[in-house]
Structure 1
Amino acid sequence: MELLQSLWRWRSLLIFVLTPLVLLPLPLVLQSPEAYVAYMILLMAVYWVTEALPIGVTALIPVVLVPAFKILPSKDLCPAYFEDSNMLFIGGLMLAISVEFWDLHKRIALLVLQLVGVQPRWLLLGFLMPTWFMSMWISNTATSAMMLPIVDAVLHELMRHDQMRKRVDRQRLEQAQQEQPVEQEPEQGESGQKDQHEMIEMAENSETTEDKVEGSMPESVGEVEAPEASAATSAAAETNSAAATSEDAEETVLSYIQNPENRAFANICKMLTISVAYGANFGGTATLTGTAPNLVLNNNIISNFGNQSPFNFGTWFAYAFPISLVGVLIAWIWLQILYIGPRNSCKCGVKDSEEVEAVQQALKREYEKLGPITFPEVSCIILFIITIILWITREPGGVGWGYLFQETPVTYVNSSNGNLTRIEGSTKFFMADAQPAILMSILLFVFPSSNPFKRRRATVDVVIEETVTVNDDGTEEVKREVRNNLDKERPSTLLTWRVVHERLPWGIVLLLGGGFALAKATRESGLSALIGQQLKPLGSLPLPLLIVIVVYCTTFITEITSNTATASILLPILVDLSRTIGINPLSLMLPCTLAASFAFNLPVATPPNSIVFSKGYLSVTDMLKSGFVLTITSGLVLVAGTLSYGAVIFDFYNFPSWANASSNAAAATSAGFSAGGAVRPASMPRLMYVGNE
């Protein structure tokens, strides 16, 4: 037993040392570039799955192994870590950090929760939709971490009033039994038997439904307490709840749901908590910058097909947004059925107005803590809206501001009759989606955090904070603290580099770059082409069946490794498979990318899953029960959307000309222009081919 414990303690080191040795026969026996890259992919996959190394550190392995295996020189490989897509990711993260820093995301979430109401089904929607919307623009991990404290505050109020209500119910029952007249013993016996039978019947119904929730809020039995003490406790709890921390709420709720009698409330906890992870996973798929696999797709398309494909921020949004929206609505319905019950999920109306009012007051107190909307919040909203408009209008179907920054190179070739023939090359687009994101990020370091046109007061604002505590004898003690509101240091601009340095997830940036480097090595070594040739028999399958296979294989792989790693490994293979069997590459690449984010079953599948699992409300079995059905239904929605309107947007059923000339387009993208900027170098493959004609 001690040996096993020692091995488990040193498991990371053992995996780090033994995995390269176990896989070593692959490069030693085959000794080909394809085998070398396959060895590296398998090694990184094991490290990613087991987390023997930090994920960002594992992403740096190609920097060492690719040049060592003589696949690519270092000067050609290392720029892959900061491709255009990575700059887009960094710009989007900086915008997201500004929103987080000024608590704008929390204001939006609390506003939505106050609008939808406090009945469980609407509370569920109130947590799903803000998480879903914000994860389109903010990282899934940050969105989940922001929403969970709000979940804790709501659950704490539900639990507190559930306890109080049950105490009152028991007191009324005991008082009614004590007030029965003694002289009417037969009637009392019959009445007592009747009450007992009713209580037994209620208990049986409760056992039958097990953890299904009746009505609008859960019920549980608490301790008996005198009415005066209960009222005092109620007032004290309501006052102190405004100052309760998220950690206190978590501890109280965790201890409360351990009681088997509180299964209904435990299910409310599970339902609301897991909705945060599912909302974040679905929301990240809707926009190009929402999650890292989308940027891996963008990089693979640019590196293989240049700017010739119809893929951009607008077309991706038109394709992915409906699938994301339908998916989150399915999650809303399924979580109700699973945790509330099919009958109660269709019920409307609220039985306990006091409980509703209590939860509404809790949300109102949380919102009032933020104060009135501030100048920095308005500034962040404006910059965010401008960024989205620039993304959508860059290339919306033949027109857009991106066409102002384009150039068509021209070369002149001697013809057979001695005249010069004018040949126009492929149009070069200088702008991409990274430029608006970086421009707005730069402005965050310029815009002031206070209104420069508003005259400042000479006096210092004073804030009086009151803390009410209840003594053992039931008396209240009020403590007042006077401080000025300038105690908290306010930055002079909307964002500072110190904040970015502390909050930007550099490990994810490296992970994204490692995926790009891995894809480049896979392509240059010929491994992706080799796998594509081996999968050529799949070309005999109809396209719908092929998409189904790709979608569900991807959803399985993404459960055991990171979403970004899954997309980085599979997308280069799908590019060459599409070329081999002669279909539109986007018909497989786009659904594969979306499926890489459909990780709902395991805590390790994606960071939002890990965050909600760490709260302690959920077990692995709970996640499997809710996630399996969601994986199946989301995959079906993805396939249906791809084959219907997705085929119209991207013309999936025809092999495009830009896919045929993919290598030339990629070369054009990387080579750029000559010093003059208007003439393409004569060594470009495409122009030499046209000239020879």
Structure 2
Amino acid sequence: MAKTYALSQKWGLFAGPLLCVAVAYLPALSFFQPKAQWAISIGLWMLVWWISEAIPMAATALLPLVLFPLVGLLDLKEAAAPYANPVIFLFMGGFMIALAMEKWRLHLRIALNIIRLTGTQAHTILLGMMCATALLSMWISNTATTLMMLPIASSIISLLTSESANLTSKQQANFALVLMLGIAYAASIGGIATLVGTPPNTVFAGFMAETYQYQVGFGAWMMVGVPFALLLLVATYGLLLVLYPSRIRHFEGAEALIQKQLADLGKMSRGETLTLAVFIATAFLWMGREYLIYWLPAMKNLTDTGIAMMAGVVLFVLPTDW
């Protein structure tokens, strides 16, 4: 429970239900069927609460479970059915893997190693940051990836401003700008590449399955999503360099900074190793599920959702201090 409420939250808390009731009984909408009018009203209530964050967003999403049966839109069983959609559990499994990576700081190790390999020139540092962000965002939420990469970028920018006195303020500002923008754009671009990269992807897959009975598999999505994401990443990288050129040939101290952060992480722990193994196995199963079913017909009922949940269960079972 929140200890204090911002003014917008207080307004939203009361504005949501009041707007719902007002729209539900608004004569101007009488050309709608009563149930349709109630559906619009409840949708507006949820929208106000989501925008104002009057209550936690996840709690707002539970309103249909209470209100739909209450006003006669759906019975409880029908209202609850979408919450058990296989797509929800696919996303849940992806979140479990992401949380395990964050807990053991595997995502940070992956990002730092990618940046280390790209070199210490300004444009290669940007490339490394964008590649690392996009790669992680394929499996972890865009927001979490961005929050993880920002401290790394801030450290590099601080090092640049403190140790590169020969650079103009314009060069420093442009480098800082492209680094921050590159992370933000790369996080969104990476989310396009996989089915679990961002919630709209799984929502679309669920819509296709329910409306057109067409199953969008993980591998099929990646066949389209990965090339498209690569094109966007390259285009964004080039555009940032053209619009905000820094012309920094060599960045003294960047390599030492990355090496220090890697040294601080130490050797890979047992938890990191097991998480990496589960992550790689899950990714291969997602991408090769159709081939696995072809060679092992007994696995015909294996789904992307089943693979995701299996990975989540395995992460709970594997011991880190046996």
Does residue 114 of the first structure (1) align with residue 137 of the second (2)? no
Counterpart of 1:198 in structure 2 is none
- The one of 437, 441, 446 equivalent to 2:312 is 441
Code of the residue aligned with 1:281 in structure 2: it is S
Matched residue type, 1:285: I
> Secondary structure in 2 aligned to 1:368?
helix
- The C-alpha deviation readout for 1:370-407, integer Å capped at 9, x for no partner, is 11233332222221111112112222598355x4245x
Contact 1:27/1:35 (<8 A) preserved: no
Asked if residue 387 in structure 1 is aligned to residue 282 in structure 2, the reply is yes
- Structure 1 residues 310, 60: CA separation in 2 closer, same or farther (over 3 Å shift)? closer
Partner AA of 1:265 in structure 2: Q
What SS does structure 1 have at the residue aligned with 2:132? helix
Distance 2:121 2:16 in 1: 50
- The equivalent position to 1:63 in structure 2, one of 59, 62, 65, is 65
Q: Distance in 2 between matches of 1:12 and 1:78?
A: 25
The runs of 5 or more residues in structure 2 that have no matched partner are: 1-5
1:159 aligns with one of 158, 161, 174: 161
Identity over the aligned pairs, expressed in percent? 31
Offset at 1:14?
Answer: 4.8
- Residue from 130, 143, 149 that aligns with 1:147: 149
1:43 corresponds to which residue?
45
Q: Which amino acid aligns with 2:271?
A: P
In the alignment, the residues of structure 2 paired with residue 387 and residue 297 of structure 1 have an alpha-carbon distance, to the nearest angstrom, of 22
Q: Is the 8 A contact 1:136 1:287 kept in 2?
A: yes
Q: What SS does the corresponding residue of 1:331 show, helix, strand or coil?
A: helix
Distance in structure 1 (CA, Å) of the matches to 2:185 and 2:11: 31
Q: Which amino acid aligns with 1:448?
A: P
More helix by share: 2
Q: String of CA shifts for 1:460-517, please: whole Å, max 9, x gaps.
A: xxxxxxxxxxxxxxxxxxxxxxxxxxxxxxxx37xxxxxxxxxxxxxxxxxxxxxxxx
Deviation at 1:305, TM superposition (A): 3.8
Distance in 2, matches of 1:121 and 1:53, equals 43
Residue 318 of structure 1 and its aligned partner are, at CA, apart by 0.6
From 100, 103, 106, give the equivalent of 2:102: 100
Q: Please, what TM-score do these two structures have when normalized by structure 2?
A: 0.88
Higher relative strand content: 1
Change in Cα spacing, 1:65 to 1:310, as seen in structure 2 (3 Å) is closer
Residue in 2 that maps onto 1:265: 172
Aligned partner (choices 218, 224, 228) of residue 323 of structure 1: 228
- Tell me the distance in 2 between the aligned counterparts of 1:137 and 1:318: 16
Q: Which residue in 2 is equivalent to 1:16?
A: 16
Give the direction of change, closer, same or farther, for the CA distance of 1:7–1:137 in structure 2 (3 Å limit). closer
What's the counterpart of residue 139 of structure 2? Answer: 137
Q: Distance in 2 between matches of 1:34 and 1:394?
A: 41
Aligned CA distance change for structure 1 residues 27 and 90 (closer, same or farther; 3 Å): farther
1:584 matched residue in structure 2: none
The equivalent residue for 1:298 is: 205
1:360 Cα deviation from its structure 2 partner: 1.3
Q: Distance in 2 between matches of 1:439 and 1:305?
A: 27
Residue 110 of structure 1: CA displacement?
0.9
Query: Are the counterparts in 2 of residues 27 and 36 from structure 1 also a CA contact under 8 Å?
Result: no
Q: 2 CA distance for matches of 1:373 and 1:399?
A: 36
Mapped to 1, the partners of 2:220 and 2:28 lie a distance apart of: 41
Cα offset, 1:127, TM superposition: 0.8
1:372 to 241, 255, 267: 267
Matches within 5 A, 1:428-577: 430-449=301-320, 492=321
How many angstroms does 1:286 deviate by? 0.7
Distance 1:363 1:265, change over 3 A: same
Q: Separation in 2 of the partners of 1:376 and 1:50?
A: 39
* Separation (CA, whole Å) in 2 of partners of 1:17 and 1:314: 43
Q: How many residues are treated as equivalent by the alignment?
A: 315
Q: 2:137 and 2:267 mapped to 1: Cα distance?
A: 24
- The 3 A distance-change label for structure 1 pair 279 and 26 is farther
Q: Letter of the aligned partner of 1:391 in structure 2?
A: W
Structure-to-structure mapping, 1:402-413, within 5 angstroms: 403-406=297-300
| CA-based RMSD | 2.6
Instruction: Spell out, residue by residue over 1:519-553, the C-alpha distance to the aligned partner (whole angstroms, 9 max, x if none).
Output: xxxxxxxxxxxxxxxxxxxxxxxxxxxxxxxxxxx
CA contact (8 A) 2:190 2:197 kept: yes
CA deviation map 1:646-682 (0-9, x unaligned): xxxxxxxxxxxxxxxxxxxxxxxxxxxxxxxxxxxxx
Structure 1 gaps of 5+ residues are 1-5, 167-217, 220-261, 407-429, 450-491, 494-693
CA positional deviation for 1:278: 1.1
